[in-house]
């Protein structure tokens, strides 16, 4: 998906793909783009609530046949650009803005005139695997599930125990790692050289790639699953940020037959205080790719 024509974002709720509005509405921006004619621009207005900007969503295929259950492997890559105002603002009350939600695909029968839960799947599903700037720390983190399952609760953070009382917040980073304790120094020391978290960079097209490899179904989970994340700065090679697993991804019950089949792009910020006055900010997406095999870094 190149976000190069109005048809790319023309759908709405119940369609195979499209946009939803929040305090503002996503729009094509021909002035800022990674390639092609335009990119997809989200605006974060001042005094905006959690749903600052709306969202873009797409199923993996128009016929809803391309979905992934147990013992499957999928890759999702996108380019993303952040304005300095977006990265430099600490949003009051917010738990941190999201980047992507990878969740359950729609089922046949989902149409704009038949928006029924369980047929049309929304962003908050049992499967959701989410990238988020948790607690405005300034770097991507991951969590799984809007419901929880047998082995873990909802919104289960990918935080790996380290030592007696610490956690790796990006467990794929080499020494000096990306640690919870680095946020408790004054000032915080998450980033090089004291820490090694992979953060966000303004005014450049960063590349994010998520690999999900599901294991076999056991009850309401896909056991022995893996989630891998690579990130690249513009013009640079990607670096490993998460190597998470073996892990039991929430699958919901077998009767529900939910499978990964839909992706959401959005800067939704749970708990954001609408009374806060802050600069208008922007974030852009381009070059969304969904694949069965690993995707090369952009050239």
Quickly list H helices, the chain. 84-88
DSSP 8-state code for residue 85: H
Interval 267-293 mean pLDDT:
98
Q: What's the CA gap between 145 and 158, in Å, rounded?
A: 11
Write down the pLDDT at residue 99: 98
Non-local CB neighbours of 61 within 8 Å, separated by 6+ positions: none
Q: Can you read off the two tokens belonging to residue 161?
A: 């125990």
The answer to whether the beta carbons of residues 210 and 131 sit under 8 Å apart is yes
Write down the pLDDT at residue 144: 98
Whether residue 226 has pLDDT greater than 90: yes
Write down the pLDDT at residue 283: 98
Whether residue 35 has pLDDT greater than 90: yes
**Per-residue pLDDT tens digits for 185-205:** 999 999 999 999 999 999 999
Identify the band that residue 299 occupies on the pLDDT scale cut at 50, 70 and 90: confident
Distances in whole angstroms, Cα of residue 35 to Cα of each of 3, 29, 32, 108, 270 = 9, 12, 9, 33, 31
**Per-residue pLDDT tens digits for 88-131:** 999 999 999 999 999 999 999 999 999 998 899 999 999 999 99
Non-local CB neighbours of 26 within 8 Å, separated by 6+ positions: 9, 19, 40, 41, 42, 53, 54, 55, 56
> Apex CA 215: angle with CA 211 and CA 218, to 5°?
140
For the entire predicted model, the pTM comes to 0.97
**Per-residue pLDDT tens digits for 4-28:** 999 999 999 999 999 999 999 999 9
Write down the pLDDT at residue 117: 84
Write down the pLDDT at residue 216: 98
**Per-residue pLDDT tens digits for 278-288:** 999 999 999 99
Name residue, tokens 């908050």: 124
Q: Can you read off the two tokens belonging to residue 191?
A: 């980033």
Interval 231-235 mean pLDDT:
97
Identify the band that residue 33 occupies on the pLDDT scale cut at 50, 70 and 90: very high
**Per-residue pLDDT tens digits for 49-97:** 999 999 999 999 999 999 999 999 999 999 999 999 999 999 999 999 9
Write down the pLDDT at residue 56: 98
Name residue, tokens 């839960």: 117
């Amino acid at each position: 998906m190149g976000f190069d024509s109005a048809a790319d974002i023309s759908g709405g709720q119940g369609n195979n793909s499209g946009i939803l509005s929040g305090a503002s509405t996503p729009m094509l921006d021909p002035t800022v783009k990674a390639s092609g004619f335009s990119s997809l621009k989200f605006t974060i207005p001042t005094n905006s609530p959690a749903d600052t900007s709306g969202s873009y969503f797409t199923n993996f295929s128009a016929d809803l046949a391309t979905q992934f259950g147990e013992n499957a492997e999928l890759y999702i890559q996108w380019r993303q650009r952040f304005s300095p105002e977006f990265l430099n603002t600490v949003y009051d009350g917010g738990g941190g803005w999201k980047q992507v939600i990878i969740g359950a695909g729609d089922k046949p029968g989902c149409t704009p005139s038949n928006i029924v839960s369980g047929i049309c799947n929304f962003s908050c599903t049992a499967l959701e695997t989410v990238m988020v700037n948790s607690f405005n720390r300034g770097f991507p983190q991951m969590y799984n599930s809007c419901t929880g399952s047998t082995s873990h609760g909802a919104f289960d953070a990918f935080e790996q125990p380290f030592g007696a009382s610490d956690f790796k917040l990006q467990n794929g980073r080499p020494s000096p790692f990306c640690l919870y304790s680095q946020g408790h120094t004054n000032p915080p020391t998450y980033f090089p050289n004291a820490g090694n978290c992979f953060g966000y960079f303004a005014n450049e097209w960063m590349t994010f790639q998520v690999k999900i490899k599901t294991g076999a179904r056991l009850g309401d989970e896909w056991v022995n699953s893996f989630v891998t994340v690579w990130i690249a700065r513009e013009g640079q090679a990607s670096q490993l940020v998460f190597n998470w697993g073996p892990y039991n991804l929430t699958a919901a019950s077998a009767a529900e037959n939910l499978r990964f089949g839909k992706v959401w792009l959005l800067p939704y910020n749970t708990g954001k205080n609408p009374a806060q006055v802050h600069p208008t900010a922007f974030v852009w997406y381009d070059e969304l790719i969904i694949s069965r095999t690993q995707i090369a870094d952009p050239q």
